[in-house]
Chains A and B, each alone.
Chain A
């Protein structure tokens, strides 16, 4: 069973860059799945950030597109998220997840535990 684990700094300064990595175990990031990031501000709902395929093809939420970059490292079996020019509004728990099939019709079927990133000076 695939397992995902987020890692990265828990505190980022305003106007700085948020960088997170999601390590995949029990499966290969090179399989026919998309990999995705979702965030949840404290006490709020879920917001989809974007997705990446092992080929490097990406799709981003237009609301974040100018600040988001995702990448995949097949040698390390992990994928990453970078969010630039952060503000307090980017404070959230960030989850990485696997999309169950070639399309998101199958839902996000495996999730990391989430990591809280706080934007503060």
Chain B
């Protein structure tokens, strides 16, 4: 596609429920990144994919967070048993080679 697409754009969920966030990167971009941004804060790195593999999972804040990427394309970030501190904007970006990252518009997650 022309840009990085994320869905849903907004998600409100009850504490304790699981959520799945989806990212469609730019076609042909081999690298895919997940970041999150809490209100008024900078971007926090979560995970990086090169193809379908995730060599760097160091940023995942807890074992409730997991991510996968299939076919070298779409990625899903799953948060199990959501907590209120998980409320944030979750941003996905993709890149190819040494190009800059192209970000999606993010998913605003609110845990109530």
- Judge: A and B partners, yes or no: no
